[in-house]
Structure 1
């Protein structure tokens, strides 16, 4: 009560962040405590430059692999490379890679998967037999399609292979199976423009080695032998640049600049742009129900 019996000011009702009570405030009202729960950049990852360079090597080497495959196909198309030599070289490289795959972790990976060498040999023989038997069909599969259309399809498929390749992103963002399938489809399209069935067989087997077997070996090297992984990536990139140089000096320079940009410049830009990241979190975020399920599993 105020002076001379007059009523005083009405009591101040504190604001509550609830919806089940009637309060004398507008629906969009918040008090000064609302921003006390503001948090910035809670889940920001801080990268190190050389770690990012190490991870970006997978992108650079995959670009180089696509370039090497196209170069080998171009050599056969121009008659500069015999399919016999490509088949023999591919078998030798596959054998060396197979031995290296086991030696990297001393066979522990084979023990975990439970797959024997006899099973690997049978799978290889079956694949080679079927591919060789169907090579005449692969040669004539797209003969009715114009050459420009075939080249356009092959280019789009190789681009899709690069986009959806599993560089280490979450599985819901990439698809390794789709990436491999479109690469094989591109090899079939290109093989149909070569002189004979043996050329088609050499092209498809080369695609399997480049796009399926080589990434498997590279992942094993990355997990168990980081120094070997770096050496393999550098060797593939240099081979791609050297092969492109035999065709076009300008193309080799552009490819080298592209690989350097992917491996050195893009990681630097990523780290620089991290300074400008500004994610805010607070009471306005969507609620997440976190329930401990361990008690139900006991």
Structure 2
């Protein structure tokens, strides 16, 4: 009886391709599929005091909202004159603009560019002042048919939206500078409609633009260009805000102080404690990235 030799063909190694028939279902993977898996590739290690310092951007925005509301209450109680507030806020805005342009000049070092920027800014300011003052009588009667409680509720919701969607420097989908600014302006219009004269309405809207549109730009510029300015601004704004709120309500000032302590010291410690639980995985199942 003759001998028959049985030749065993070597098993073909599976490849991660879909254009070739390998005799297996399309969703089949072998043990080599997880060889490319990586964990925490782009993980960032946070340090407590650096997080405490970065939390200042949140504290500063909360201070801005509280000071804006405090100025409204002072005008509503006729403790503060709208003309005085307008002059003081305009003077501080001019100083802030000069600081911003000085930082820009040191960076760009171009006289022509600064001249054009200054002239453009001047025209924008004049147009805004003219339109705001001209529309102030309309703002006074804009919410006459709406109850005061409803107006205050809408204002609180809009200011909360300003805090939620404000650009704190994080790359997140929830960040929307336009939505945050529009919410703040809407809140200022609601409050302006509950004040006494056209000067009150004009000053309220102007203050909102200065606080929620111009002030954050200067804060970001100082943070990038001036060392330790973040810490100094946070301390100054916190003290000014707490003292200002204390003149209105001691309880509110205490609660605001506790909120600042929670955001500045407790939340960073909470974030640091959660770092060991972070576990991101990367592998061949991720979407392809086009690299230059």
Matched residues in 1 for 2:221 and 2:26: separation? 58
Q: TM-score, with normalisation over the residues of structure 2?
A: 0.88
SS of 1:97's partner is helix
Matched residues in 2 for 1:229 and 1:115: separation? 29
Q: Deviations over 1:63-107 (max 9, x none)?
A: 110011001101111111111221121122112212222334545
More deviation, 78-87/6-15:
6-15
- Quick one: structure 1 residues 250 and 8, their matched pair in 2 at CA, closer, same or farther if it must change by over 3 Å? farther
| CA drift at 1:145 | 1.0
Residue equivalent to 1:286:
286
Q: Deviations over 1:152-198 (max 9, x none)?
A: 11111111111111111237542212211111110010011111111
Matched residues in 2 for 1:276 and 1:92: separation? 50
Matched residues in 2 for 1:143 and 1:279: separation? 54
Residue equivalent to 1:101:
100
- Quick one: structure 1 residues 262 and 115, their matched pair in 2 at CA, closer, same or farther if it must change by over 3 Å? farther
| CA drift at 1:280 | 1.8
The 5 A counterparts of 1:172-251 are 172-251=173-252
SS of 2:55's partner is helix
Unaligned runs of 5+ in 1: 293-298
Unaligned runs of 5+ in 2: none
- Quick one: structure 1 residues 78 and 42, their matched pair in 2 at CA, closer, same or farther if it must change by over 3 Å? same
- Quick one: structure 1 residues 104 and 291, their matched pair in 2 at CA, closer, same or farther if it must change by over 3 Å? closer
Contact 1:58 1:167 survives alignment (8 Å): yes
Residue equivalent to 2:49:
50
Is 1:13 the counterpart of 2:11? The answer is yes
Q: TM-score, with normalisation over the residues of structure 1?
A: 0.86
- Quick one: structure 1 residues 260 and 226, their matched pair in 2 at CA, closer, same or farther if it must change by over 3 Å? farther
More deviation, 152-161/257-266:
257-266
Q: Deviations over 1:122-151 (max 9, x none)?
A: 322222122112111111111111111111
- Quick one: structure 1 residues 171 and 286, their matched pair in 2 at CA, closer, same or farther if it must change by over 3 Å? closer
| CA drift at 1:119 | 2.8
Residue equivalent to 1:39:
38
Residue equivalent to 1:22:
22
Contact 1:110 1:116 survives alignment (8 Å): no
Matched residues in 2 for 1:144 and 1:110: separation? 54
Residue equivalent to 1:169:
170
Contact 2:133 2:202 survives alignment (8 Å): yes
Matched residues in 2 for 1:7 and 1:255: separation? 88
SS of 1:278's partner is coil
Q: Deviations over 1:203-238 (max 9, x none)?
A: 111111111111111111011103233212221121
SS of 2:270's partner is helix
When the two chains are superposed, the root-mean-square deviation of aligned CA atoms in Å is: 2.5
Residue equivalent to 1:296:
none
Contact 1:53 1:263 survives alignment (8 Å): yes
- Quick one: structure 1 residues 289 and 131, their matched pair in 2 at CA, closer, same or farther if it must change by over 3 Å? closer
More deviation, 109-118/190-199:
109-118
